[in-house]
Amino acid sequence: MSSLFNEVTSTRSDDVPVRRVTITVNGETHTADIEPRLLLAHLLRQGLKLTGTHTGCDTTNCGACTVLFDGRPVKSCTMLAVQADGHEVTTVEGLNTPSGLHPIQEGFKDEHGLQCGFCTPGMMMAAKALLDENPAPSEEDVRWALAGNLCRCTGYQNIVKAVLWAAERMDDTEAEEAS
């Protein structure tokens, strides 16, 4: 096992500082003994095997590792896992609804909002944070909200369309539920 997460849980020694943390990820509570230098992105990917969260640039530029931290988007490569102790994290795996894909995921599919797919999880989580606060964003709102996420394939056009598609769909669903 090469991950820091497993390393510290399996071979504890006295000179390695270890902290016990309890983190709720996608509604499920996990307790782990981790080294404080473990990044949240690595805890998710290697510790919890939630590899939907991608690590791209590793320098806080690209946003591929974006997850929701207590409902707000953060770059999980720029947070220590130990900082998430007692907090709630939502990853792209947590977007799924009981009835299937989340409207944001459907939107990316329908509007071809991805090519290589590397930035997609981060884009979707940033979009989720936007739509949670602003269910009817303008195109400009979407572009501003996604400004911390880089895509090297699409030129962003279809990503923006996908988010607007999702906003419309979620609005319809809510209207149906209300009627």
Partner 1 sequence: MYPSRFRYEAPTSLEEAIALLQQGAGEAKILAGGQSLIPLLKLRFAAPELLVDINGLPGLDHLVADPDGTIRIGALVRHEHIERSTLITERQPTIAAAAPLVADPIVRTRGTFVGSLCHADPQGDWAACMIALDGSIVAQGPNGRRTIPAREFVTGTFENVLDPAEIAVEAVIPPPQGEAHGGYLKLERRIGDFATAAVAVAADLRDGQVSRAGIALVGVGATTIDAREAADSLVDGALGPEAIDRAADLAAEAAHPRSDHRGSASYKRHIVRTFTARILTQLDRSTQKAA
List residues near partner 1 by CB under 8 A. Answer: 4, 16-17, 19, 35-39, 42, 58-61, 63, 66, 69, 72-75, 77-80, 82-83, 85, 126, 144-145, 147-149
Nearer to partner 1, 150 or 169 (CB): 150
Nearer to partner 1, 116 or 147 (CB): 147
Residue 178: CB minimum distance to partner 1, A: 28
How many residues are present in the chain?
179
Nearer to partner 1, 42 or 161 (CB): 42
Q: Classify burial at 17, counting beta carbons within 10 Å of its beta carbon; exposed 0-12, middle 13-18, buried 19 or more.
A: exposed
Nearer to partner 1, 19 or 169 (CB): 19
Tell the residue number behind the tokens 């944070």, with chain if given: 129
Task: Sort strands 28-34 and 66-69 into parallel, antiparallel or unpaired.
Answer: unpaired
Residue 56: CB minimum distance to partner 1, A: 12
Of the candidates 130, 175, 173, the residue with the CA atom closest to the CA atom of residue 160: 130
Nearer to partner 1, 26 or 149 (CB): 149
Residue 23: CB minimum distance to partner 1, A: 14
Residue 93: CB minimum distance to partner 1, A: 19
Residue 145: CB minimum distance to partner 1, A: 6
